[in-house]
Structure 1
Amino acid sequence: MLPENDLKIITEEMGREPNLVEQGCFLNLWSEHCSYRSSAPLLKTFTTVGDRVIIGPGDDAAIIRFGEGWVLAIGMESHNHPSYVDPYNGSATGVGGIVRDIISMGARPIALMDPLYFGPLNTPKNLYLFEHIIEGIAGYGNCIGVPVVRGETYFDESYSGNPLVNVVCVGLAREENIVTACAQKAGNKLVLIGSTTGRDGLGGASFASRDLSEEAEAEDRPSIQIGDPFTEKLAIEATLEAIGAGYVLSCRDLGAAGLAGASSEMASKGKLGMRLEADKVILREDGMTPYEIMIAESQERILMEVEPENVDAVLAIGKKYDLHASMIGELTERLYYTVEFEGEMVADIPVMLLTEGAPTFERPSTAPPEREIGEKPDLPADMKKVVLDILSSHNIASKEWIYRQYDHEVQVRTVEKPGSDAAVLRIGDGKGLAMSCGCNPRHTLLDPYEGGKGTLIENSMNLAVKGAEGIALVDCLNFGNPERPDIYWQFKQAILGLGDAARSLSIPVVGGNVSLYNESGEYGTAIAPTPSIGLIGITGELETVPQSHFAGEGNTIILVGNTLDEMGGSEYYNMVGLRLNGNVPKVTDESVKVVETLINVVRDGNVVAAHDVSAGGLAVALSEMCDSIGAEIDLTSVGDNLRADDVLFSESHARAILVTSSPEKVKEMLADVPHTVIGTVGGNNLSIKGNGFDLSLSLEEISDARASLTKMMME
């Protein structure tokens, strides 16, 4: 049912009360998920333009200029609520939906990333969700031949009742082949191509704008779409062929709000109306009503604007790929969204009212009382044991069990594979595309503004250690109920922080998604604020991209950046039961300078290995660099008057470990940013000493600790 105030506004604007079909259209298109009612004023604070931005927010995907006539399409979406109710199909269709956003722009999807957030794996329910969400992503992505090249998997109690499934997709196209969702001309026809339309996914957009409860698993299962990756693969090829032939003038994926959403938005973007014949839609179930036809979110469907003389050619392409295709309507000069069914008019809505009429507003926000920093823990008696415990925690442990289920090498572009700081793909000759994703929700929980800034700095560091400069980002802003002033304050502050960091690095925010109401009655809590992002960048020459592991006996190891007493939100503090204690890492002007300097240093070609320092701190980053060879590390000069645990486990931003055989050259290039020589590569152990500690880890001990998640899942 429409909220009372919405019904009043619509009735006044239309001069009558909307009928059932019209109410279904408004219910979905005016939902938080589609209309960004609580978030639109805040999202306007982002800088969305830049030298490389061809198409920014508002279309199915953004288009970014890469070079030499190539463009990148990038989009990011969430499928959080569906993945709780039906983890396999929820996550699978999350992949399918974002891939169609890319192909509807005329780009071939070339890579996926999947930032995922779960409750701890110590309950059967969380373990079930974890296994089946991964299975759904792998099953869909592998079948359609799009590699999953990067991801994040984060565990926190707040996600127990509401896991998050965020997906980023990047596509590649020639600039001249790009199409948009902006309808072009009255009289042109609408062709729906792909799968049939069924009752799966009914009301998905409105469902995504509610919080979850235990009962949701049964009563909301009709809101979950069922994916067919084999049909998706055919839809990819058919769509790109039709666009390549010049038949498609505008195009839209059928995602949230189904046919009602895609078609009305296409018309309104072109300042046109539309007349649809709902009975021309090819159905998979008998007896579907016009209400169901219009708002069903059945997967693998694309809507195309086609000139009348090219309709038969597009229908023939559909037949060639064994897809269902039919002409279902036309664009009109009359600015109304009209739906007919079996000769009767079942909807007649002012199109701009439907797509742009939902009231948007800033909700009340209230900052919490100032947080107590709290006491520090007692220094551990056995520091080596603490390092191994952190390495084996599920947030830090290797995610190999996950990414081994994904085909990350299909399309043979992948240069840097999963497990590295950033994925790197070969695009044309010479330079590469670098990709990173995710955030640190605990940092954002303790300080939403600094957490928002840190999200971009850490992803930028992931690119910088590959010599890549960030050129565009998309976001997936996952938060609890915005009607709660404390949650809306978190939401607002995180957006402001992310936006400020983006401006400081000159990286435009070109698209994304907002996912609110992420909380459940079952657990009675909102998720930790999770401003997850996808960041893309351009490397220097590919031969200068360093590896992530120690290499070269006797090579010099340099730590870049300052290590401070910034333990708030750290994995170490969480492990010792101080989740809400400590100073949150802050982003400074120096952080931005470190990012920019690192890019130049790596591109110069004298760095053989590089690794960002982030979750878990220095002890973790050094351990992760141990593969076939160890290192001798001296941290005596790192940090001013810091305790041993601060030095080893602080998560201060903008730090990296560089390995070089030309230390003087690298140090010269690092002259304007903090840096310290901390050791040399060599041996079969990682030996770390500092003020008050001296420990040694064998390569086998490190490997065993990091394999904890894989070992648990294989048992």
Structure 2
Amino acid sequence: MTIKNLDTVKHAAGTPDSDQPWKELGLKEDEYARIREILGRRPTGAELAMYSVMWSEHCSYKSSKVHLRQFGEKAPANDAMLVGIGENAGVVDVGQGYAVTFKVESHNHPSYIEPYQGAATGVGGIVRDILAMGARPVAVVDPLRFGAADHPDTKRVLPGVVAGVGGYGNCLGLPNIGGEVVFDPCYQGNPLVNAGCIGVMRHEDIHLAQASGPGNKVILYGARTGGDGIGGVSVLASETFESTGPAKRPAVQVGDPFQEKLLIECTLEIFAEKLVAGIQDLGGAGLSCATSELASAGSGGMRVELDTVPLRDATLSPEEILMSESQERMCAVVEPQHVERFMEICEKWDVIATVIGEVTEGERLEIFWHGEQIVDVPPRSVAHDGPVYERPYARPEWQDALQADDANKLPRPATAAELREQVLALVSSPNQASKAWITDQYDRFVQGNTVLAQPEDAGMVRIDENTNLGVAMATDGNGRYAKLDPYTGAQLALAEAYRNVAASGATPLAISDCLNFGSPEDPAVMWQFAEATRGLADGCLQLGTPVTGGNVSLYNQTGETAIHPTPVVAVLGVIDDVTRRTPIAFAEEGQLLYLLGDTREEFGGSAWSQVVHNHLGGLPPAVDLDREKLLGEILISASRDGMIDAAHDLSDGGLIQAVTESCLRGGHGARLVVPDGLDAFTFLLSESAGRAIVAVPRSEELRFTDMCGARGLPVTRIGVVDGDEVEVQGEFSIPLPELRTAHEATIPALLA
């Protein structure tokens, strides 16, 4: 069958001078020239489509690869690592024959354009990444960042994003156990919608994305391919928004969580019967990605009959089919003898499945359209050997002035009454206020295995009902700290997530990251990225927590204005018995309150400087990762041995923020005493790292303090759980009802 105007391989070889829309597809002139060099001719339209999406910033990591190599070069020795960087998600051994896979990714740009579907399909995509590793997804998390809380566009974006995250995750029956919500004007035109997922499997059930075994069939199953998401995130996330809004608006993907739920159960049954030799989800770059990555990672080539792909829109061109990022689709490599049973399971779950090709002896990815060859490429050149840029980077000229603008010199409250007023302003500010309006829209306890969820320091789920084995996850990242010092800011994000996991009683094992930055074509942004990556790699080496995988999101800026550098770090931990977990709530009168760690005058990038003075300047808190490791060991040991009833890390907002959250969570007040050597202001509002507050039963006081002393961790008794107010002796008191109103009323009022 000959199709009129079809750009075949033969036609391309005979028409070397035909004009092609390489620039409109986001390719640079030298990239287009390199494609021609690889192929020895001009690309066909279908080949050009594949290279354009696969060589996009979002898919190829062409500006970040040279820096990301540090995660491998500096990786700490870790016996728990089973699968590392390079697969759909990392996998770690958590004991008892269980493996856990986890990852965080971004869906930032689509969520600005279409908040509900952008966020929903971000959840769907990360869930399929976890599923593709052979695991059952068991929980999701959602680190979110928006513009100013009172800006009109925030009221457009935030409710849609939250509804998308909740709507998709709730329909899948996955508990949302953690994440963050941060407001800052720098995210006004570039909200950050990061989504994470945790999955559980047995060691022997790990699956990889590869197509090996000539004659094995390539099966596309799941939803039909449509026009939604053509170019999608692969193109959209690879360019800067203009000040008037995004210039290119490829159709944002449309998600169907009920279809995804069927796909999950169908895939898990297929895994249980060991019917697949390789598998890949279809996310960014769609079929272009799935076919080229499977073939590239395998031992042979692949032939695909593109006209057999089930379509929702019969008018789609071959190029559009290859670029479509329609959701709820998977691609499996299946041995011929297993194809019939594979199809039976798909039919049982009402999942469309079609053999679209097979693995070949050769080393080429060949794609045909009604018998005509439209793609003939080395798959590795598409999937893995794209451009690698060593972008110029330089410390920005304004960095010295920013750091010299010391927040420690800002005017401080002159009276106890003024200090009380500033504390109330802090705990009621959008970033420190209760996020219950948001998190109450998520089902946090579906499946019945959630042990801890927001607003706890870390989310925790039980993965074995007989032994109570569990895993915990926390995500953190402070763009204000990273703006002041990207190297230190990245390590502070790592340290806080590590501390949060340890505070819950779990032992930190490994990390995933989502690195959100502005345009890589700006040397100042690339310096921020290089420094943050170096800081994270150095920090992981020191803490012994390897990077198992993650995501880079660049071009998060509007015109010339970039977001704050925002490295988000997700730390995964394991706990042998979830019944020994540590909550944040001060739940019993008489519990003794102890401050662990050293408190210094550190206010650079602090919540106080932002809320009271609208100021960003100075240096962020110092990082001592050896201290973080020691603090973590103490918190884990104390939790396991029943020495503490509650623990809360100290970070944004300092001690008073942690005390407020713990008191309101438990429904009990606290009487605090300012320790010798500290003034009340520094005691309450400093954001020194490496600290936590714990509630100790009186019967365990001596054992706990002796352990801290023997290990060399500073420990200071600062008060007691008591009454129905938070009292700072000699300074002020705030009744819990007043504190609760201040803390809980802000977000509903802003978003009403």
Paired with 2:381 and 2:497, the residues of 1 have a C-alpha distance of: 39
Uncovered stretches (5+) of structure 1, i.e. residues with no partner: none
Q: Which residue of 1 aligns with 2:52?
A: 27
Residues 595, 654 of structure 1: 8 Å contact kept: no
Paired with 1:273 and 1:646, the residues of 2 have a C-alpha distance of: 64
Change (3 A) 1:57 1:115: same
Paired with 1:108 and 1:579, the residues of 2 have a C-alpha distance of: 45
Indicate the RMSD between aligned Cα atoms, in angstroms.
Answer: 1.5
Paired residue secondary structure (1:607) = coil
Amino acid at match of 1:37: K
Residues 611, 656 of structure 1: 8 Å contact kept: yes
Q: Which residue of 2 aligns with 1:634?
A: 673
Paired with 1:567 and 1:216, the residues of 2 have a C-alpha distance of: 35
Change (3 A) 1:540 1:676: farther
Uncovered stretches (5+) of structure 2, i.e. residues with no partner: 1-21
1:612 and 2:649 matched: yes
Q: Which residue of 2 aligns with 1:675?
A: 715
Paired with 1:469 and 1:411, the residues of 2 have a C-alpha distance of: 24
Paired with 1:595 and 1:270, the residues of 2 have a C-alpha distance of: 42
Paired with 1:261 and 1:547, the residues of 2 have a C-alpha distance of: 42
Q: Which residue of 2 aligns with 1:206?
A: 235
Paired with 1:32 and 1:714, the residues of 2 have a C-alpha distance of: 34
31, 40, 44: which one aligns with 2:65: 40
Q: Which residue of 2 aligns with 1:97?
A: 125
Residues 85, 216 of structure 1: 8 Å contact kept: no
1:170 and 2:198 matched: yes
Amino acid at match of 2:733: S
Q: How does 1:38-117 map to 2 (within 5 A)?
A: 38-46=63-71, 47-48=74-75, 50-117=78-145
Paired with 1:233 and 1:573, the residues of 2 have a C-alpha distance of: 45
Paired with 1:550 and 1:501, the residues of 2 have a C-alpha distance of: 32
Q: Which residue of 2 aligns with 1:187?
A: 215
Amino acid at match of 1:191: I
Paired with 1:71 and 1:301, the residues of 2 have a C-alpha distance of: 24
Residues 511, 548 of structure 2: 8 Å contact kept: yes
Paired with 1:215 and 1:485, the residues of 2 have a C-alpha distance of: 24
Paired with 1:356 and 1:491, the residues of 2 have a C-alpha distance of: 22
Paired with 1:264 and 1:219, the residues of 2 have a C-alpha distance of: 26
618, 630, 633: which one aligns with 1:593: 630
Q: String of CA shifts for 1:682-714, please: whole Å, max 9, x gaps.
A: 11111114xxx6111111111111103343157
> 1:444: Cα distance to partner?
0.7
1:625 and 2:652 matched: no
Residues 551, 659 of structure 1: 8 Å contact kept: no
Q: Which residue of 1 aligns with 2:731?
A: 694
Change (3 A) 1:216 1:250: farther
Amino acid at match of 2:158: F
Amino acid at match of 1:431: L
Amino acid at match of 1:629: H
1:536 and 2:565 matched: no
1:239 and 2:270 matched: no
Q: String of CA shifts for 1:59-87, please: whole Å, max 9, x gaps.
A: 11111111111111112110000000100
Q: Which residue of 2 aligns with 1:651?
A: 687
1:250 and 2:278 matched: yes
Q: Give the share of equivalent positions with the same residue, in percent.
A: 42
> 1:352: Cα distance to partner?
1.7
> 1:578: Cα distance to partner?
4.9
1:499 and 2:563 matched: no
Residues 213, 299 of structure 2: 8 Å contact kept: no
1:573 and 2:609 matched: yes
Q: How does 1:134-153 map to 2 (within 5 A)?
A: 134-153=162-181
Residues 467, 540 of structure 1: 8 Å contact kept: no
Q: String of CA shifts for 1:332-365, please: whole Å, max 9, x gaps.
A: 1211111100110011111121122212132111
Residues 565, 583 of structure 1: 8 Å contact kept: no
1:11 and 2:44 matched: no
Q: Give me the TM-score of the superposition, normalised by structure 1.
A: 0.96
Paired with 2:543 and 2:751, the residues of 1 have a C-alpha distance of: 42
Q: Which residue of 1 aligns with 2:598?
A: 562
Paired with 1:75 and 1:478, the residues of 2 have a C-alpha distance of: 15
Q: Which residue of 2 aligns with 1:274?
A: 302
Q: String of CA shifts for 1:352-401, please: whole Å, max 9, x gaps.
A: 21122212132111113423143622222411110011001110011111
Paired residue secondary structure (2:277) = strand
Paired residue secondary structure (2:181) = strand
Paired with 2:390 and 2:162, the residues of 1 have a C-alpha distance of: 36
Amino acid at match of 1:488: M
Change (3 A) 1:221 1:184: closer
1:459 and 2:492 matched: no
1:431 and 2:463 matched: no
Paired with 1:323 and 1:591, the residues of 2 have a C-alpha distance of: 48
Paired with 1:546 and 1:350, the residues of 2 have a C-alpha distance of: 53
> 1:216: Cα distance to partner?
5.1
Q: How does 1:153-552 map to 2 (within 5 A)?
A: 153-204=181-232, 205-213=234-242, 219-222=248-251, 224-368=252-396, 369-370=399-400, 371-374=403-406, 376-380=409-413, 381=415, 382-428=418-464, 429-521=467-559, 524-552=560-588
The alignment covers a number of residue pairs equal to 706
> 1:92: Cα distance to partner?
0.2
> 1:583: Cα distance to partner?
3.0
Paired with 2:543 and 2:513, the residues of 1 have a C-alpha distance of: 16
Q: Which residue of 1 aligns with 2:7?
A: none
Paired residue secondary structure (1:420) = coil
Paired with 2:277 and 2:47, the residues of 1 have a C-alpha distance of: 27
Residues 178, 475 of structure 2: 8 Å contact kept: yes
Change (3 A) 1:218 1:500: closer
> 1:490: Cα distance to partner?
0.5
Q: Give me the TM-score of the superposition, normalised by structure 2.
A: 0.92
Paired residue secondary structure (2:645) = strand
Q: String of CA shifts for 1:561-601, please: whole Å, max 9, x gaps.
A: 11111111111101133532233111113233222222222
Paired residue secondary structure (1:282) = coil
Paired residue secondary structure (2:689) = coil
> 1:11: Cα distance to partner?
1.1
Residues 230, 250 of structure 2: 8 Å contact kept: no
Q: String of CA shifts for 1:513-565, please: whole Å, max 9, x gaps.
A: 000000113xx411111101211101243232222121322221100011111
Answer with 144-153 or 348-357: which moved more.
348-357
The runs of at least 4 aligned residues of structure 1 exceeding 6 Å deviation read none
Amino acid at match of 1:20: G
Amino acid at match of 1:647: F
> 1:425: Cα distance to partner?
1.1
Change (3 A) 1:643 1:631: closer
Paired with 1:254 and 1:711, the residues of 2 have a C-alpha distance of: 37
Paired with 1:66 and 1:519, the residues of 2 have a C-alpha distance of: 39
Amino acid at match of 2:673: D
Amino acid at match of 1:475: D
Residues 150, 750 of structure 2: 8 Å contact kept: no
Residues 484, 605 of structure 2: 8 Å contact kept: yes
Residues 444, 452 of structure 1: 8 Å contact kept: yes
Paired residue secondary structure (1:201) = coil
129, 142, 155: which one aligns with 1:127: 155
Amino acid at match of 2:494: L
Paired with 2:751 and 2:113, the residues of 1 have a C-alpha distance of: 25
Change (3 A) 1:88 1:217: farther
Amino acid at match of 1:680: V
Residues 388, 702 of structure 1: 8 Å contact kept: yes
Change (3 A) 1:603 1:362: farther
Paired with 2:245 and 2:55, the residues of 1 have a C-alpha distance of: 22
